[in-house]
Amino acid sequence: GLKYINFITLNIIMKIFVTGTSGFIGFHLANLLLKEGFQVFGYDGLTPYYDINLKKKRNDILIKYPKFSFNQGMLEDQKNLEQLFDKYQPEFIVHLAAQAGVRYSLENPRSYLDSNVIGTFNVMEMAKKYQVRHILMASTSSVYGSNTDMPFVETSKADTQLTIYAATKKATESMAHAYAHLWNLPTTMVRFFTVYGPWGRPDMALYKFVSAILDDKPIDIFNQGKMYRDFTYIDDLVLSIRKLINVVPPLQKERQVKTRDSLSEAAPFRIVNIGNSKKIKLLDFIEAIENVLQKKAIRNYMPIQKGDVPETWSDTSLLDTLIDYHPETDFKEGITKFIEWYKDYYKI
């Protein structure tokens, strides 16, 4: 496999521009990078899609680090991005900011085009102009759409997205491949699988379930509970991203990894799944929440939602080959940690 070098030990302080640092994943990644001594330039729009206080509290934790600088702005604002890149000259970009949420994309599809497609294009323009050493961008397991071959492998065709959210993410993968080819821009797309954990988003299943159970409110269980998800614990996910920063996709002719590598024939471009590579039945997930809370949920069984897929399941052998690591936090342990955080955060 590729050797993973810790640049910090070489006394080189890497400068990383991270978008979405007040968001769930961006906050955890920035926190990890700062703990390791990286210089992190955070960028976030602090949009009111969900409780803005949660975003501000995450940000309050990050700004205590001397090597963190926070910049508020929208991805659509190219002038603002350009000024910041001029000022900071980052060597790496991790682009996590996006309009998230599969459900919301049914109500407000245009916001996904603005932030996910136009916003991502602007970030890619910066990567090109400032010749960063590696750009990593968040994609999603939703791009696998109606694929039924499981577990999902990066080299599988992914042309049947079922929501505009998934479609915008697939569009950014295609745009990124074109930029990688045209400008020799080393690019890694990371496809995330159902991420959960402390400081999570209130619109995510775990957060909603815990909140409803504690408030004696019913929880909606779609597809009559016949749902399977590859739940990935947040700490495992950000550690994977952190390690992938150093695994720069090579130009063709310098290939090292043979095993089912998604490395493009035409560009320094690679797609990598980050998941737990286990599919967990939603009902088992709910039961684990009930066990930790020592309280039963009021269950409201519903038909499957528009655009939803019954199951996701990742093949993470490429991730393992590249960084000699893969997520493996057990979902029961992850749920316990989330509930501890939740009770502390809401003073329960």
Return the ∠ at Cα 211 (arms to 43 and 209), rounded to 5°: 95
Which of 27, 15, 312, 331 shows the shortest CA–CA distance to 196? Answer: 331
Alpha-carbon gap, residue 264 to 252, rounded angstroms: 8
| C-alpha Rg value of the chain to the nearest Å | 19
Residue 165 annotated to the active site: yes
Pairing mode of beta strands 280-281, 228-229: antiparallel
Helix (H, G, I), strand (E, B) or coil at 239: helix
In Å, what is the CA distance from 62 to each residue of 47, 58, 338? 18, 7, 20
**Catalytic residue (one of 112, 144, 165, 233):** 165
Buried b (16+ CB within 10 A) or exposed e, 285-310: bbebbeeebeeebeeeeeeeeebebe
DSSP-assigned states of every residue in 161-223: --SHHHHHHHHHHHHHHHHHHHHT--EEEEEE--EE-TT--TTSHHHHHHHHHHTT-EEEEGG
Q: What are phi and psi of 139, to 5 degrees?
A: -120, -165
Alpha-carbon gap, residue 101 to 136, rounded angstroms: 20
Which residues are marked as active site?
Answer: 165
